[in-house]
Chain A
Amino acid sequence: MKTSGISIGLAAALTLMSSTSSFAVTEISWWHAMSGANNEVVNTLSKEFNESQSEYKVVPVFKGTYPETLNAGIAAFRAKQAPDIIQVFDVGTGVMMAAEGAIKPVAEILSEGGVTFDKSQYLPGIVAYYSKPDGTMLSFPYNSSSPILYYNKDIFEKAGLDVDNPPKTWPEVWEAAKKIKTSGAAPCGYTSTWLTWIHLENFAAWNNLSYGTKENGLAGLDVELEINAPLFVKHFQEIADLTKDGVFRYGGRTSEAKQIFLAGECGILTESSGGLGDIVKSGMNYGIGQLPYEPEAEGAPQNTIPGGASLWVFGGKSDEKYKGIAAFFNFLSSPEIQARLHQVSGYLPVTLKAYEETKASGFYEKNPGRETPITQMMGKAPTENSRGVRLVNLPQVRDIENEELEKMMDGQQTAQQALDNAVTRGNAAIKQAIGQ
């Protein structure tokens, strides 16, 4: 009897404590996947928002890698314990969009929360990617990035290459890479992170080639891949041949190759603009160029497509929470915050105003190359091929592509065979995922 009395008292005390705290401030949980330097940014932003007002408190929680965070969110939703805000990477966009009953569109939250939401104030390429075909913005673009070329100026100099003019086309990259290797300036010429994102999805958009039918999936779910077209084959056969000669070095499926570049093993790297932080930190004498294009492609260079991640809000929460989330997103899209995010992390600014402010401040003159990811994405009005890639199971399709490309680079198959296999297997997986 005695123990149960104590436990009842304890429970009552706990309830009291929790109810008083929730009376004071509404807590908003934010699950994210930002590690290292970008994690500090998340914590600083939350802290600044919490100190700027007293009604809401954003609580960021690190949940591991991008896929791990998405899975944690899905599992939590199924257990009816979903967080309020979750950061989902670009390839998870299709998964989230298909879950219409689970999420609440950000456009709705903003307008219901009394925040004036003017879509024209946001960078069109980014907003279009995170919107429904009818134009409703579904998620808030938090960190958007675009793949660019980084090069090690010391290695370029040793190899006798022009330090101020990085290669602009893929044939130029292959030439420069070969020269780096043969001159002994570095053990390898070129490496790249995220082959699927940079050399397939962005290669297609940047060279105005189709990645798949149905406008790469933006106009319908039953997509058939078209990545075995001649220019893709030519591009990957080059990579396969260069791998054999040790001119190109494969680092892994995600961003592992950045370490090879940072270690000074390769002279050229293609990586997300969001990887800039680590490269700056390393103290390397680096240069930035735009993503190389394929000169044989008509209309190239077109525009690149956004990578990175956006913030999704789960449905079924209290109005009070949604109001707080609207205030938080409003805070995030303020020009000062956006401009700072962009300048510190290398991610793209989400609003035009932040971009213009950064421009006016003279930041780009002082930091040449930092405007590249934006001009790449905004330079031309997007075509059917360059609005983005959206598949309900893009993570799975990327896995398939990676597997086939790895076999190709190991010399087990040609580029043509690898891409044909990727298309066949990818199409079958898409059919299965949409239940056909």
Chain B
Amino acid sequence: MTPRAIFPNKFLPYLLLAPQLAITAIFFYWPASQALYQSMLREDPFGLSTQFVGLANFRHVLNDPNYLHSFQVTIVFSVATALLAMVPALFLAVMADKVVRGRGIYRTLLIWPYAIAPAIAGMLWLFLFNPSIGSIAVMLRSLGVYWDPLLNGPQAVILVVAAAAWKQISYNFLFFVAGLQAIPKSLVEAAAIDGAGETKRFWTIIFPLLAPTTFFLLVINTVYAFFDTFGIIHAVTGGGPGKATETLVYKVYNDGFVNLLLGESAAQSVILMVIVVALTAVQFRYVERRVHYG
């Protein structure tokens, strides 16, 4: 048991908490309450006439086939991004764990892409895959693939998923490496002495023991794909072609800032807030319970 901190002064604890509380209040509670309030209004862009409409915005949003479509897009996008970001990361982590010489250099290089801003990552991929000038697009075309993400929806989705996942691989790699280090070497060695091959050892010992890390990363990656990929989508496709890459977050932006439907956009962000709260709750309750510490 860790000893309990004792504060003789009654105000000191509150004072120490104050900065954090202020940040939470200003950057979360205030905007969140504004969003809640605005989601029940119908307003012109300049806020000159305001009308209270209750839950009409929510009703409209949930009955909008485009909203449901963008829900589907988001789910496909998130699952694909999470998978594509985690599988290579796990592979790289297992491989990097085996390297004896220059381990630090390998790790540093693999972590590097995480430092790149989403919009820049998007631009890099856009440049490589630009149908007219992109070097990879030229290679694809010479292979006989008709590459045109400007009009072909699935190709556009592939492009944003690849860009989003590529950036996240480093983050996942870092956690998998840490997870691997926590696995007792003696277990792996014992299995090796008993004649288990490399693949067998991975699937029967390493992978199950990594499960908590994997689950944690699954939640984190889903949240990332849901909310942090706006920059990439904005830079690469702008939600198009058609509505092929319009995720929920992108739709909030588009309806609010391009179409100037502030009430509906606010209603959508409130729905997103509910989703985040649910995801976070799952993460805390489920993951915390299942983690094996040592």
Which A residues are in CB contact (< 8 Å) with B254? 399
Give the nearest-CB partner of B259 in chain A.
Answer: A396
A interface SS class: helix
**Nearest CB in chain B: distance from A392 CB, A:** 9
Q: Using A396-B259, A399-B259 as known contacts, say yes or no to A406 and B242 having CB atoms under 8 A apart.
A: yes
Interface string of B241-277 (1 = CB under 8 A from A): 1110000000000100111110000000000000000
Q: Which of A99, A265, A432 contacts B45 (CB 8 A)?
A: A99
Q: Using A78-B46, A99-B46, A410-B151 as known contacts, say yes or no to A71 and B242 having CB atoms under 8 A apart.
A: no
Q: Which of A102, A253, A403, A410 contacts B46 (CB 8 A)?
A: A102
B48 touches A102 (CB 8 A): yes
How many Å lie between the Cα of A407 and that of B134 in the bound state? 23
Give the nearest-CB partner of B66 in chain A.
Answer: A425
Q: Which of B42, B150, B153, B260 contacts A74 (CB 8 A)?
A: B260
How many Å lie between the Cα of A320 and that of B290 in the bound state? 69
A101 at interface by CB-CB < 8 Å: yes
With A253-B240, A406-B240, A435-B51 known, 20 other A-B pairs at CB within 8 A are A74-B45, A77-B46, A78-B47, A95-B260, A99-B46, A99-B48, A243-B151, A260-B132, A263-B133, A265-B132, A393-B259, A395-B259, A399-B254, A399-B259, A402-B240, A403-B240, A407-B241, A410-B152, A432-B261, A435-B42
**Nearest CB in chain B: distance from A316 CB, A:** 12
**Nearest CB in chain A: distance from B69 CB, A:** 11
A250 at interface by CB-CB < 8 Å: yes
Which A residues are in CB contact (< 8 Å) with B48? 99, 101-102
A368 at interface by CB-CB < 8 Å: no
**Nearest CB in chain B: distance from A58 CB, A:** 24
Which A residues are in CB contact (< 8 Å) with B45? 74, 95, 99
Which B residues are in CB contact (< 8 Å) with A124? none
Which A residues are in CB contact (< 8 Å) with B47? 77-78
A280 at interface by CB-CB < 8 Å: no
Q: Using A74-B45, A78-B46, A435-B42 as known contacts, say yes or no to A67 and B258 having CB atoms under 8 A apart.
A: yes
Count of A-B contacts judged by CB separation below 8 Å: 71
A250 touches B258 (CB 8 A): no
Interface string of A50-94 (1 = CB under 8 A from B): 000000000000000001000100100110000000000000000
B44 at interface by CB-CB < 8 Å: yes
B interface SS class: loop
How many Å lie between the Cα of A77 and that of B6 in the bound state? 50
Q: Using A251-B150, A409-B151, A410-B242 as known contacts, say yes or no to A399 and B46 having CB atoms under 8 A apart.
A: no
Interface string of B124-140 (1 = CB under 8 A from A): 00000000110000000
Interface string of A98-121 (1 = CB under 8 A from B): 110110000000000000000000
B132 touches A263 (CB 8 A): yes
How many Å lie between the Cα of A250 and that of B132 in the bound state? 11
A44 at interface by CB-CB < 8 Å: no
Which B residues are in CB contact (< 8 Å) with A429? 259
B238 at interface by CB-CB < 8 Å: yes
Give the nearest-CB partner of B240 in chain A.
Answer: A406
How many Å lie between the Cα of A95 and that of B259 in the bound state? 10
Interface string of B38-65 (1 = CB under 8 A from A): 0000101111100100000000100000
How many Å lie between the Cα of A430 and that of B51 in the bound state? 18
Which B residues are in CB contact (< 8 Å) with A404? 242
Q: Using A77-B46, A252-B150, A410-B152 as known contacts, say yes or no to A67 and B257 having CB atoms under 8 A apart.
A: yes
23 inter-chain pairs at a CB distance below 8 angstroms, sorted by A residue, are: A67-B257, A71-B257, A74-B46, A74-B260, A78-B47, A95-B260, A99-B46, A102-B46, A243-B151, A253-B238, A263-B133, A265-B132, A393-B259, A395-B258, A399-B259, A402-B240, A403-B240, A409-B151, A410-B241, A429-B259, A432-B261, A435-B42, A435-B51
Q: Number of A residues contacting the other chain (C-beta, 8 Å)?
A: 35
Give the nearest-CB partner of A79 in chain B.
Answer: B47
List 5 tightest A-B contacts by C-beta distance, closest first.
A406-B241, A396-B259, A410-B151, A99-B46, A407-B242
A255 at interface by CB-CB < 8 Å: no
A101 touches B46 (CB 8 A): yes
**Nearest CB in chain B: distance from A250 CB, A:** 6
A259 at interface by CB-CB < 8 Å: yes
**Nearest CB in chain B: distance from A196 CB, A:** 13
Which B residues are in CB contact (< 8 Å) with A265? 132
Which A residues are in CB contact (< 8 Å) with B259? 393, 395-396, 399, 429
How many Å lie between the Cα of A399 and that of B246 in the bound state? 12
How many Å lie between the Cα of A430 and that of B2 in the bound state? 64
Give the nearest-CB partner of A251 in chain B.
Answer: B150
How many Å lie between the Cα of A67 and that of B260 in the bound state? 10
Interface string of A371-407 (1 = CB under 8 A from B): 0000000000000000000000101100100111011
Which A residues are in CB contact (< 8 Å) with B153? 410
B151 touches A406 (CB 8 A): yes
**Nearest CB in chain B: distance from A199 CB, A:** 16
Which A residues are in CB contact (< 8 Å) with B152? 410
B243 touches A259 (CB 8 A): no
